[in-house]
Amino acid sequence: MGKNERRSGSRGASVGFTPAESPLHAALSHHQNGEFAAAEAIYRNILGTKPDHGQALYNLGIIGLQTRRLDLAAEMLTRAVAQDGDNAEWLYHLGLAEQWRSRFHEAAAHYSKALRLEPKYAEAHTNLGNVLKEIGRLREAAQHYEEALRLRPDAAELHTNLANVLAQNGDFDNAATHYRRAVNLQPAFAEAHNGLGIALLAMGQPQDAVECHKLALMLKPNLVEAHVNLGWALLALGRTADAQPAFERALALRPDSLEAHRGLVRTLLAGRHRDDAVEAAMAALTVRETPETKALFVEALLRS
């Protein structure tokens, strides 16, 4: 499962049905075959005669998630949970709908309730960690990633999620440990190599950081963050001529990357290309005028 982990099925979906439930059975058959429009039509017909049919509400909510109609998903899953508030699976998917709508506090509440009902629900721990990270509750996020790892110790993405939070909280030694575990489990995991490079640079090991970022880019050449971080690591080594193309490549891939603009300006200033630095800072202002880009422009002017 990916960063925002998800269970795609519904509990009880494959059990037998009474004749009265045959429309639901037909809908499930369409649903499991990826025939969402046909399944949705039957679920809606069921709800037309029985608006409180929990399974139809839940399954229609799942279709909302699968087709990225998040308002539909949230509405139907909310109605399903109103019918059965002790169903951890239903609460989990309602949390997912709210998370995808960027309603992180609401998502956290649903994931937390799912975990009270099912404490060993690894995906709920993972996604609760994700939303807690989004709202800045890093220590709690780390605790849920750690619990998910106790349940799934060989999940490379979980090690990376935990490492990201640890690094964001300034604990680079432990972050590096988990990034290394991630790349040992999944050697082609570009984001984990990139994260390890960030941690190593923060720990005063810029040459090792450069190697990590280069490996990340071998695996995923268009990973913007790795180009940016390679630039910073090269700049830390005083290799301004090598750092400049790294930042420029990042900007070619993502012109609105403030970190790449900032790195390019700093690199040009370090190389005493002051007019170019002012021009680069002006380009950042043109792309996106923010307090950060204004400050970057002023810094370039003052140092020119």
Q: Which two tokens stand for residue 257?
A: 């990357």
**Closest by alpha carbon to 160, among 134, 130, 204?**
130
SS3 label, residue 230 = helix
Amino acid identity of residue 118, one-letter, is E
- AA letter at 61: G
The string of DSSP codes covering 80-140 is HHHH-TT-HHHHHHHHHHHHHTT-HHHHHHHHHHHHHH-TT-HHHHHHHHHHHHHTT-HHH
Pairwise CA distance, residues 253 & 248, whole Å = 9
Looking at domain 154-254, which CATH architecture does it have? Answer: Alpha Horseshoe (1.25)
pTM score:
0.84
Domain ranges of the chain: 154-254, 256-304
The alpha carbons of the chain give a radius of gyration, in whole angstroms, of: 24
Q: In the chain, which residue ranges form alpha helices assigned H by DSSP?
A: 22-32, 36-49, 54-66, 70-83, 88-100, 104-117, 122-134, 138-151, 156-168, 172-185, 190-202, 206-219, 224-236, 240-253, 258-270, 274-287, 291-302
254 SS3 class: coil
Pair 228, 263: CB distance under 8 Å: yes
Closest to 268 measured CA to CA, from 253, 284, 279: 279
Q: Write out the chain's pLDDT in tens, 304 residues.
A: 345 555 433 333 333 334 445 899 999 999 999 999 999 999 999 999 999 999 999 999 999 999 999 999 999 999 999 999 999 999 999 999 999 999 999 999 999 999 999 999 999 999 999 999 999 999 999 999 999 999 999 999 999 999 999 999 999 999 999 999 999 999 999 999 999 999 999 999 999 999 999 999 999 999 999 999 999 999 999 999 999 999 999 999 999 898 999 999 989 988 788 888 899 888 888 888 888 888 888 888 887 6
